[in-house]
Structure 1
Amino acid sequence: MPEYREKLWPTPWIYLSSLLLVPASILVLAPVSMPAGIATGVVLYLGVIGALSLTAPVVEVAGGRLRAGRAEIELSHTGEAVAFDPAAARVQRGTGLDARAFLVIRGWIGPVVRIPVVDEADPTPYWLVSTRRPKELAAAINGSRRPE
């Protein structure tokens, strides 16, 4: 049983704003064929929504491991996780970002958790992971860490 699990689904406004693909397709294809414009818009909308939903990464803490998207790390190789609210997270994703960091961030999720990597063989200084519940994720990581 995972100690923490979250799927980083797109927010509702992403689904709503993607609906603009339908009228845009109609405008482009209306001179050729109105039904083709409608069909193309619907197919594009469903494709975008399907891609966003199917590729939404999972963040999970279980069995002494952190999984973020396709990547995993033993929690014994991590330091103290720190949660950042949306305002502080903006700095972490922007001017405070190390180019070597491993990122699993989504623009529609404000808060992030920074997880230092203490394994000297790993060139990655830290992981930066988006989450809607930063304090819970940081607590799950910090509570599950086992020193080597």
Structure 2
Amino acid sequence: MTAPIAFRERLYVPWWGWPLPLGAAVLLAAEIHMGFPGVRSWLPYAVLVPLVVLLIVRMGAVKVEVSGGELRVGEAHVPLELLGEVEVFDARSKRRAMGPNLDPAAFVAHRGWVGPMVRVKLEDPADPTPYWLFSVRSADELAAVLRGR
């Protein structure tokens, strides 16, 4: 039986992040097509465009989830009982959290197209990571879930 999910969000790439890489893939495929006309002319389109689509989808594969007594961000996970203070940063204040105030030992999962961020301090003395700092669209909702565990 699976544990109930208290919070889940996928950090997908928004629509405005797709046209430029797809256009670049088609343009590169057209360049290759012009250099090698003939039977193989369709090959660069068949390879490059799906490759770029896969890359964009893979960039958006980061999931933030609270379930089963754990916080998961991408492949990383930590038990909820090891979490301490929870802070929410909006799009403007995250610049300070990601810049001069960033601890180099922190776990960071930043996506530039997502405005808010959450910082969760870790209370595990055996772990050298002082906190997790990660992007999430529903930062206030996640913070409420983590504070009310």
TM-score when normalising by structure 2: 0.85
2:22·2:53 contact (CA, 8 Å) conserved in 1?
no
Q: List 4+ stretches of structure 1 deviating above 4 A.
A: 34-38
2:106·2:129 contact (CA, 8 Å) conserved in 1?
yes
**Higher fraction of strand:** 2
Q: Give identity over the alignment, percent.
A: 37
1:78·1:116 contact (CA, 8 Å) conserved in 2?
yes
- Report how many aligned residue pairs link the two structures: 144
- Whole-Å separation in 2 of the counterparts to 1:44 and 1:59: 30
RMSD: 1.9
What corresponds to 1:80 in structure 2? 85
2:7·2:145 contact (CA, 8 Å) conserved in 1?
yes
- Whole-Å separation in 1 of the counterparts to 2:63 and 2:103: 23
1:23·1:41 contact (CA, 8 Å) conserved in 2?
no
Between 1:28-37 and 1:82-91, the stretch displaced more is 28-37
2:22·2:52 contact (CA, 8 Å) conserved in 1?
no
- Whole-Å separation in 1 of the counterparts to 2:103 and 2:18: 31
The one-letter amino acid of 2:108's match is L
Q: Which of 110, 126, 131 in structure 2 is aligned with 1:121?
A: 126
Distance 1:5 1:116, change over 3 A: same
Cα offset, 1:63, TM superposition:
2.7
Structure 1 stretches of 5 or more lacking a match?
none
Cα offset, 1:70, TM superposition:
0.7
Distance 1:35 1:83, change over 3 A: farther
| 1:49 maps onto 2:65 in alignment | no
- Whole-Å separation in 1 of the counterparts to 2:126 and 2:5: 27
SS in 2 for 1:24: helix
